[in-house]
Copies of this chain bind each other. A is one copy, B any other.
């Protein structure tokens, strides 16, 4: 891991130090993804079966998970894992429910009632990847807010294992959230199927969930296509930024950095501190802990693109963090809460020494689908609102029109929109008659 002294860098060097690995797929990937999408659109389920055989090594007659497979999945899990999934689900549901938006109505003038109502998105598609391992936690993070939003038509895709079965933990998690329409599909073919529909898979209005570079590119392409599905957010490699003071526990900080780094070679981790001794101690801990990690090779490659940064002050650390806008921000600080007002852009924040980022990934209650690649500058993580549309309503009584109509007439005239003016003026005349 690079060691950087922020005070000795000029502006260009500072910008370079915070540069993320390129997010966008290369032209070759983009073309390959476009071909796969086209194939699914043209040949439907036949293409899905062929691509699943090619990429997942599974020959499937039926892409959909049967009731029998659901039943045997839950039975196949250890009680401890089943309980952990249920326990995490309860806390995620608790937190998300508490943050749900409510409809509201106000009278903006006598006889003019304006309101906002909320509706679930009608058809949503959830993608649960299974890169190095299947991710039941992601099934919870996608399906619970969809259920709270009231979505009735929920489809979930997850790649099959080579024996043609779906991961039982993912199935148990989906079932816990009321999702019973699960397809054994992964990668680009899953995204294309949910975006445009096939005989077996219904077309969805919006797609959710993380994935590798191919899945991300597929989501980007369908979102750009007329009549394609919307997507939850731009997605990219996972990342963490830790701000630690001299009182932080170096073993904890190193463990948090590594738990981000093990996600993939393209993950990025940053540690900012105003304390040289802490930086030294974390560097040492990183080496010691890496020695015991099964995924050490992946983590080592991620750490090569990452930095330990000596800053002048914690204030400076927060300025850097707000520019970088990390997906995860850990504040390993004494009185961490007092620093919270400084945070302007981040996906999710972890306060103090006892809040490892892994808790947010699984079971604190917050959502782990979060903005990456600097998107935290302009969007937040998944919530129930991501699965809803807000619709405004105006109900106007005759005396309400009399009260505010003249204002509309004046503005329509100024903007040269005569039919707008007329639509109001006609009604005002009728009232006056």
- Given the interface pairs A364-B112, A364-B396, A389-B379, the reply to whether A407 lies near B88 with Cβ below 8 Å is yes
Q: How far is the CA of A349 from the CA of B115 in the complex (A)?
A: 10
- Given the interface pairs A418-B295, A419-B295, the reply to whether A390 lies near B380 with Cβ below 8 Å is yes
Is there an interface contact between A395 and B94, defined as CB atoms closer than 8 Å? no
Q: Does A397 contact B (CB under 8 A)?
A: yes
Q: A377-402, CB under 8 A of B: which get 1 and which 0?
A: 11111010100011111111110110
Q: How far is the CA of A205 from the CA of B373 in the complex (A)?
A: 13
User: What is the minimal beta-carbon distance from A170 to any residue of chain B, in angstroms?
Assistant: 10
Contacts of A417 in B (CB 8 A): 132-133, 259, 262-263, 295, 358
Q: How far is the CA of A258 from the CA of B357 in the complex (A)?
A: 56
User: What is the minimal beta-carbon distance from A227 to any residue of chain B, in angstroms?
Assistant: 8
Contacts of A177 in B (CB 8 A): none
Q: How far is the CA of A420 from the CA of B294 in the complex (A)?
A: 12
- Given the interface pairs A81-B414, A109-B91, A365-B114, the reply to whether A358 lies near B421 with Cβ below 8 Å is yes
Which of A88, A292, A363 has the most CB atoms of chain B within a 10 A radius of its CB? A363
User: What is the minimal beta-carbon distance from A214 to any residue of chain B, in angstroms?
Assistant: 17
Complex interface residues of chain A between 391 and 433 (CB less than 8 A to chain B): 391-398, 400-401, 404-408, 410-412, 414-424, 426-427, 430
- Given the interface pairs A85-B411, A397-B354, A407-B363, the reply to whether A259 lies near B419 with Cβ below 8 Å is yes
Q: Does A155 contact B (CB under 8 A)?
A: no
User: What is the minimal beta-carbon distance from A217 to any residue of chain B, in angstroms?
Assistant: 11
Is there an interface contact between B122 and A94, defined as CB atoms closer than 8 Å? no
Contacts of A337 in B (CB 8 A): 395
Query: Contact check: which of B95, B347, B391, B407 meets A108 at CB < 8 Å?
Result: B95
Q: Does A343 contact B (CB under 8 A)?
A: yes
Q: Which of A37-45, A47-55, A60-68, A99-107 contacts B (4 or more CB under 8 A)?
A: A99-107
Q: Which of A249-257, A274-282, A305-313 contacts B (4 or more CB under 8 A)?
A: A249-257
Contacts of A171 in B (CB 8 A): none
User: What is the minimal beta-carbon distance from A151 to any residue of chain B, in angstroms?
Assistant: 11
Contacts of A346 in B (CB 8 A): 391
Q: How far is the CA of A226 from the CA of B217 in the complex (A)?
A: 13
Contacts of A414 in B (CB 8 A): 81, 84, 133, 136, 169
Q: A74-88, CB under 8 A of B: which get 1 and which 0?
A: 000000110111011
Q: Does A366 contact B (CB under 8 A)?
A: yes
Is there an interface contact between B112 and A365, defined as CB atoms closer than 8 Å? yes
User: Which chain B residue lies CB-closest to A109?
Assistant: B91
Q: Does A193 contact B (CB under 8 A)?
A: no
Q: How far is the CA of A411 from the CA of B404 in the complex (A)?
A: 58
